[in-house]
Amino acid sequence: MRRQICWTEREDDGVNLDIRVTIHAHEVKWQFQRADAEAWDYDRRPTPAQWDGLELRLRQRYQRGQIGLTKELEWVRKARTLN
């Protein structure tokens, strides 16, 4: 099942950064868009803090009963080691 997780962070220069992560079929796809940009950036690499944020959000969804944690978290951890 395709799962999309989104959140917003503030960059060092004060501009909001929208982060959208799609998890599907053993693949983790990151997308970034700054508030001052029109297009999404598909080539930017996530920071370690953003990987931690993704894992945190997955655990929160699991606690609320929205997902089965095991496979999604496993895919995320595997993708993190490859980056």
- In this prediction, residue 27 has a pLDDT band, given cuts at 50, 70 and 90, of confident
Distances (CA, A) of 38 to 3, 15, 71: 24, 13, 33
**Do residues 62 and 69 touch, judged by C-beta distance below 8 A?**
yes
Q: What is the model's pTM?
A: 0.80
Q: Give me the pLDDT at residue 1, please.
A: 53
Q: Give me the pLDDT at residue 73, please.
A: 76
Torsion of CA 61, 62, 64, 67, to 10 degrees: 80
- The parent domain of residue 39 ranges over 3-82
Helices 69-82 and 48-63 meet at what angle, rounded to 10?
170
pLDDT tens figures, 28-75:
999 999 999 999 999 999 999 999 999 899 888 877 665 566 677 777
Distance CA 47, CA 83 (A): 10
Q: Report the number of distinct structural domains present in the chain.
A: 1
